[in-house]
Amino acid sequence: MRAFLFPGQGSQSVGMGKALADASAVAREVFGEVDEALGQHLFRLMIEGPEDDLKLTENAQPAIMANALAVFLVLTQDGGVDLEKAVQFVAGHSLGEYSALAAAGTFDLATTARLLKLRGQAMQRAVPVGEGAMAALLGADLDLAQRIAATAAEGEVCEVANDNDPSQVVISGHKGAIDRAIALAKDMGAKRALALPVSAPFHCSLMQPAADAMAEALCMVDLATPAVSLYANVTAAATADPDTIRDQLVQQVTGMVRWRESIANMTAEGVSEFVELGGKVLGPMVKRISPEAKVVSVVTIEDIEAIAKELA
C-alpha cells in the first residue's frame, strides 16, 4: 500500500517551481491558474523573491500548495498516473492537508488557493507580531514536550503544535512562555530547544480567531468526496466524509498536527511506501517514525518521470 504526502510551511524557497514550469505546460497552467485566482503574481514571487515576501504566511501557504499540485498534476496528466490506482491514502502536514484534498478532488485548484490565502491572512491577524512564538524541541517525545509546555506556561498559552516524529515536537504559544520553555527544556530532558523563525504561533489556542474565519469561509464552499481517503492531522485517522473534513480543517487551525501518529497508523494499516510531492521535508520524519518504510521525494521533472514509470 502507498500514500501521497504533501509538505507544509517552511518548505518554500525562492526559485521553487521554475524548473518544473520550464519543463511542463501542465505546471505552467497550474501556476497561472493560482495567480488568476489570487489576483497576484505569486509565481513571479516564487521564482524571483524576495525571500522575505515569500516567507509571509499569506504567500507561503498558497505557494507551497501550488508547487505541490504542479508536481501532482504533471505526474497524473503527463505521467499517466491514476491516483485511485496508485495510492490508498493522501495526507498533508498542516497547510499540506489542503494540497492533499485538492489532489484528491475535494477542492478545485482556484478554491484551494483562495482558502489558503485567507488562512494565511487570518493566522497572521490572530496574534499581533511579537506576542507569539514557536520552538522545536529536539530529542523530546510528545510526553516530555507536554510536560515542558505545562511547566513553562505559568498562566500563558504554551501548547504542543506539531508532534512531528519521535525526536521532534514543536510547541506554540505566548512568546514569554515559549522563551521559558526553551530555557528549561534541556534541564527537563530535551536534547535541544530552538526558537523557530515564524511570524505567528500556529496550531495553538491563540489561533481561535483564524479558526473562526476558516469556519466561515469553509461554510461557503462545496466539498466533494475525495477520490481516496484523507489521513487528517487532528485525528490521525482516515476519513472521506466531506462534512467531517470541513470540521477537521477548522479544528486543525488550533489543534495539534498529529503527524507521528498519522504515519504510524498508516503503517499499521499496511502502507509501506510514502511519496512526498513537492518537497523533501516529510521524508526524513517518516523514516524516523517507520524506519522500514520506503520513502520517495518527488520535486523535479526527472523525479516525476522516474516515479511515473513505477506507478503508471
Burial of 215 (0-12, 13-18, 19+ CB in 10 A): middle
Catalytic residue among 203, 229, 290, 297: 203
In angstroms, how far apart are the furthest CA atoms of the chain?
55
Q: Is 93 a catalytic residue?
A: no
Catalytic residue among 11, 24, 94, 229: 94
What residues contact 230, with CB distance under 8 A and at least 6 apart? 89, 90, 91, 97, 100, 101, 104, 106, 238, 239, 240, 245
Q: Is 94 a catalytic residue?
A: yes
Is 310:289 a contact under the CB 8 Å cutoff?
no
Distance CA 51, CA 54 (A): 5
Distance CA 8, CA 98 (A): 10
The catalytic residue positions are 94, 203
